[in-house]
Amino acid sequence: MMPDPVTRLQEQLRKIDSSQPLPFALLHGDDHIAVILYKPQLEDQQTPHDQDEFYFIASGTAEVNINGEVAAVSSGDAVFVPAHVQHRFVGPSEDFSCWAVFYGPRVKPPG
């Protein structure tokens, strides 16, 4: 029997351990793609990744800082971040969460 093809936001939120520095729930992960639900706390502690990434804002509001460029984001927005680029969410609302999709080849850091 095929697993349920529908992922429920509230179900995934219950799986997140908010005491972790990078609180997320893994939906899928293999050598080519990973999909998580990410719920940063007041201070987003993530570092650049070795794959390109899309964030899809699931709930709430925040600002995203990508290499010093800041933009407001809210539910329904999508954000692209290339591999090895500094980025973080700033001032997330209490209900902020986002789906993150890491995909493509793993890229070595420049230099």
Instruction: Please state the domain extents for the chain.
Output: 1-37+48-55+75-111
pLDDT reported for residue 72: 98
Give the C-alpha distances (Å, rounded to integers) separating 57 from 15, 40, 101: 18, 12, 11
In 10 A of CB 48, how many CB atoms?
Answer: 15
Confidence of residue 109 (pLDDT cuts 50, 70, 90): confident
Query: pTM, whole model, 2 decimals?
Result: 0.91
| pLDDT score of 38 more than 80 | yes
Percent of residues, the chain, with pLDDT higher than 90: 81
| pLDDT score of 1 more than 90 | no
Confidence of residue 42 (pLDDT cuts 50, 70, 90): confident
